[in-house]
Chains A and B, each alone.
Chain A
Amino acid sequence: MDFRPSPAQQLLVSTARDFLRKHCPPELVQRVALDARGVDDALWRRMAELGWQGLLVPAAFGGSDGSLLDVILLTEEIGRAVAPGPFVPSAVVATAALLAAGTADQKKRLLPAMAAGERIVGVALASAGNSCELDARGRLNGRALFVEAAHVADALVVVARAGGDTALLLVPTDRRGIARWPLETIGPEKLFEVAFDGVAIGADDRLDPAAARREALAAGALARTAEMVGAAQRVLELAVEHAKTRVQGGRPIGGHQAIQHACADLVRDVDASRGLLYAAAWKASEGAPAAAEVAMAKAYASEACLTVARRAHQIFGAIGYCEEHPLHLLHKRIHAASLDCGDAALHLEDVAQAIGLA
């Protein structure tokens, strides 16, 4: 039993934290959050130079051959910095889908370019709002909702019904018949409705088996949990700092038990979420069946980390209500991450089945 990351993982984490402090400071996050495009190309390129987008990719495809656990530790730092960009959809979920179900040609064509930060592959894997249907003539019709960063994606991994089956497709976004409409959200994430109108799908556009969707979503669920844990850890640190320095009535507000006990609960929520995250990511990285652990981690963190953000608003008082304050971006990131790759209700149902509820 050992809760410590390996020396190499510790180096990965400290490098990531230093890098993000320098190249992804709060001012940049604020600026990109208000920007309509919502991606910082220079930051995305620099991340690729560090090998981040290729961390999950085998060396044979130009990646750095990391484990899922490595990716989780890195994603925790990305969440902590609220770094913009479609890291989780492209470098985790789409990458995992390609690795599990891509043909040699698809992998060779996309993975090296994705690892290099030159291509972005988005995912339209959510069930909610998905009406995609692949007909017998190989035409894709319908729409997918809540597709992150569809505007900058070169291709999308799309789940569609095909007769009585499910098909997993890899669709270039420049193909005829595809339209992308932005959804206006409360957060900085850029979400889209993607409409498919008779889009021609060839044999080369299939990912097989379609069951790889589940695997890709499990990797994504862990990565989203890592974002939540990283962001919640940052919220905790900011809240404690505020409690120590904000003086009212001649004393720091953190000297009052009402605030102390709130802070103690933030620690509990963050630590407990992280424990479940690491245990699940470790087990998955070892190649052991970890579906129940992943579901527990995602469901638990969705509730606990959101509670951290909401409680922190009360600790911060009025200043936390301002746009220029970082709290709302951390809060919105946690909320968005809690919904993606399966919300708490979906994962709790998986847990219910895993513990034997009929």
Chain B
Amino acid sequence: MEFGFSAAEQTFAEDVRRFLRDNPLDRFPLDGMDAGYGSGAHSRAFMRALAERGWISMCWPEAYGGGARPMFFKLVLFEELALAGAPFGPLAGSWQTADAIIEYGSERLRREVLPAVARGEATFWQGYSEPDAGSDLLALKTEARRDGDHYVIRGHKIWSSHAGIATHGLVFTRTSREARRSRGFSMFVVPNETPGMDIRPIRSLTGGVYHYEVFLDDVRVPAELRLGPEGEGFQALLNGLDSDRFWGRFYKAPALERVLRRLVDHANTTGAGRDAVLRRRLAAMAAEIAALRLLFLRAACLLRDGAPITYETAVAKVYADETGQKLARLGMDLLGPWAPLRAGSREARLDGEISHAYLTSLGHTIAGGTAEVLRTTVAVRGLGLPAEPRTA
């Protein structure tokens, strides 16, 4: 057993901390809202700054311009950025998409998209959900019809994060009708400026825009933009969702730790920390956040070692989201009458961060697999309990 980072990983953590000291976060303009997952707001400028240091592509193979560093460097970068509250919103999606392109992308995707990712310019939205295909994703209706060396995509995607400010969509489509439910799907990497796409913002209960819906009206894309073999998009998607649960939540624990530190400071300032109940709740949160971090690090070791993962990322994702909701709730209780004040309001405490976290956290147990779907995954895939019969 070994629960510390290696010397090389610690040196890299130092590098990241130095970068953060030398580049105060208020220098980076924000382009899109922070959805509370722990990766901060969407900032193209910050992504470019990471790219300048080679950190976006640092773990790719050298053949693709990467630095061939071990996977754990990404975890170190995530932890340091999240502890600092940096705006690296699109980073996890960029990494996942690049990994998929490296694994089964066409030459064209590798040639055109990877360098743009490495420069911090290409960022991605997920075109998975549809109005009638949420938890039952395979009920999707968006179709991609083959037409010579092109496909023509027609359909309606929704809940796509930052679709309006990203550069490409990962559009999950049906390419054929097959007897087996999981066959006949294909994924495409579609540039946002492709004709026929209509990307419309959805204002959320926070008052800001994070999600979009996307209407695809006979969008013609070259066949080379298909990610993986035709009809086998489902497996790619499953891998993607598994990795989404991990990469899209790994930074939650350090991000919650940062919020907890702010709450502790606040409790000390106001004297609320002397209240026995609040004191225990804050202390219990510290233990829960530490446990959360370890659940993710355990999953990280399995991913690194290529060991089978059945339930570990699903458990970690649910726990991340529920722990985040709990901390936000505790923060609201701690702030009392000041809790609902927004960022920018007179008298707002902690920069209005807590009320925003409270609202955004409501969506976390829904996005990327609901807590219910994931608990079923843990039970069926992890524990071997019998799956409920499907009725349709």
Q: Which residues of A contact B (CB under 8 A)?
A: 1-6, 9, 69, 240, 243-244, 251-252, 254-257, 259-261, 263-265, 267-268, 271-273, 275-276, 278-279, 282-283, 293, 296-297, 299-300, 303, 345, 348-349, 351-352, 354-358
Contact = CB atoms under 8 A, between A and B. Distances in A.
Interface in B288-318: 288, 290-292, 294-295, 297-298, 300-301, 311-312, 315, 318
Interface in B1-20: 1-6
Interface of A is mostly: helix
A1 B383 contact: no
Minimum-distance CB pairs A-B, first 10: A275-B294, A260-B379, A264-B378, A264-B375, A272-B291, A296-B287, A254-B385, A351-B283, A352-B283, A255-B386
B179 interface: no
Contacts of A264: 311, 315, 318, 374-376, 378-379, 382-383
Contact of A267 (B274, B291, B378): B378
Given A260-B379, A275-B297, 14 more contacts: A4-B1, A254-B383, A254-B385, A257-B375, A263-B385, A267-B382, A272-B288, A272-B319, A275-B291, A296-B290, A355-B260, A355-B283, A356-B268, A357-B264
Interface of B: 1-6, 72, 260-261, 264-265, 267-268, 273-274, 279-280, 282-284, 286-288, 290-292, 294-295, 297-298, 300-301, 311-312, 315, 318-319, 372, 374-376, 378-380, 382-388
B286 A282 contact: no
B284 A2 contact: no
A114 to B, nearest CB: 27
B297 A355 contact: no
Contacts of A259: 379, 385
Contacts of B3: 1, 278-279, 282-283
Contacts of B4: 1
A348 B372 contact: no
Interface of B is mostly: helix
A351 B2 contact: no
B386 A355 contact: no
Given A257-B372, A348-B280, A299 B315 contact: no
Most buried by A among B286, B318, B379: B379
Contacts of A357: 264, 267-268, 273, 279, 282-283
Nearest to B314: A264
Nearest to B267: A357
A111 B274 CA distance: 44
